[in-house]
Amino acid sequence: MKQITDISSLRNEIDNWRQAGESVALVPTMGSLHKGHMNLVSLAHEHAERVVVSIFVNPTQFRPGEDFAEYPRTLATDARRLARAGADILFAPSSEEIYPEGTEQMTTVSVKALSEIFCGAARPGHFDGVTSVVCRLFNMVAPDVAVFGQKDYQQLVILRRMASDLHIPVNIIAGQTQREKNGLALSSRNQYLSKEEQKAAPTIYWALADCRQQLLDGQRDLDRLEAEGLDRLHAAGLDPEFFAIRKASDLSPPKADSQHLVVLTAARLGAARLIDNVLVEL
């Protein structure tokens, strides 16, 4: 595996692959890699002959007062894990490489409406930072396939809309959420949880799973199901921001005949902000 920090060297390597007729997958990450990320790398190998994994803690998707400075940075350990997983390139650029003119007056890519609900309402500007950096990574790598985790479901929907609207020829694939045995979705931010908070945190998944089961059993009072989900999280000591049932395709409110749904939630617990979701096929 090659570790590259500059765009020119990255493009030279990818050009060589292209000349050999090889397909390319990109797995964008912020590092502090865990089993969920490794699953994305494995999935990338299934869809392309070459795999680029980027590690970049993107400053533009953090709001003032959030955990940008504290976000775990474990590049040496991450590199060893990626080498064992068979990644071809670890692209670990500096902020100056990604944003050569700085971030104050940078070109921003924004997906309106979708970026302003749910997590976007709780973290204004967050998704503009995500789409702006991912669009840049797409331009640098020009991947055939890009792999993202399903846990960040709103992000997944937004990035698919961005690629469609901007006519970026990339197939965006979702990797299944990886969980602890107790149901808690793997996240780099789980390390912020105290031992007591780790006991309460799995409630977020079980509330989602119970809502999914009620939907499968024929319950269609969505307002009641959402209220029950919020109450369950409150009772477990979490501070939920939302608990919502939406169409899986575009996060719009479901219609009576909607068959593909997602139940998604975000909640704060101590220093951690936890997000999770489950898909429902009716």
H/E element, 133: helix 126-141
Identify the helix (H) or strand (E) that includes residue 260: strand 260-269
Are 7 and 140 in contact by the 8 Å Cβ rule? The answer is yes
60 contacts 106 by C-beta, under 8 angstroms:
yes
User: Which two tokens mark 23?
Assistant: 């397909």
Tokens 């474990």 identify what position?
74
CA distances from 237 to 207, 223, 230, 233, 263 (A): 13, 22, 11, 7, 20
- 244 neighbors 118 (Cβ within 8 angstroms): yes
Task: Determine how many CB atoms are found less than 10 A away from the CB of residue 252.
Answer: 12
Burial of 223 (0-12, 13-18, 19+ CB in 10 A): exposed
Q: Which of 37, 45, 126, 260 is catalytic?
A: 37
Looking at 131-189, which runs of residues are DSSP E strands? 145-149, 171-175
Contact 251, 157 (CB under 8 A): yes
Query: Is 37 annotated in the active site?
Result: yes
Distance between CA 150 and CA 21 in Å, rounded? 30
Spatial neighbors of 79 by CB under 8 A, at least 6 apart, are 1, 3, 90
**Amino acid at site 109:** V
Residues noted as catalytic: 37
